[in-house]
Structure 1
Amino acid sequence: MQIPYYQLQQSWQHVRQTWQTTTMLWDDAVRWQFEGEFWQPLNSQVPVTLIRLEELMRVIAQARQHVR
């Protein structure tokens, strides 16, 4: 089953909002370690990945038009 691109975007937005809420409630050394080791790299990479995925979808759509 393929997950539509917009669902990936919405899911990422939901995760970010949930993280923001979590940071208001979780403020100790473990949270800061988790944020540095996991959240910050993820928060940097996912938006770039979504942009590249959107570009790939455009290329595939153009290729399909040329094949028809």
Structure 2
Amino acid sequence: MKTDAYSKIILTIIAVCLAINVLKDMQIIQSAQAKAPETKLVAPQSSTIDVRIVGWDASSYNPVYVKVK
């Protein structure tokens, strides 16, 4: 009786491992892929670009200094 339970447990573990090996290669949910932008927005140097700031976290503020001619 003890051998029968041991065999069932070992065979169940083997079956679960085989199922995991088969299922890990199947793509049930497609992976996300980025699409390259088709056009680039280039502004002339003499014009300005409006920028909308969506969020602001004052704790992570690091100033960036830019040289302006």
TM-score range (shorter-chain normalised) is: 0.3 to 0.5
Which structure exhibits the higher relative contact order, with contacts defined as CA atoms closer than 8 Å and separated by 6 or more residues?
A: 1
> Could you say which structure has the higher helix fraction?
1
Q: TM-score, normalised by structure 2?
A: 0.35
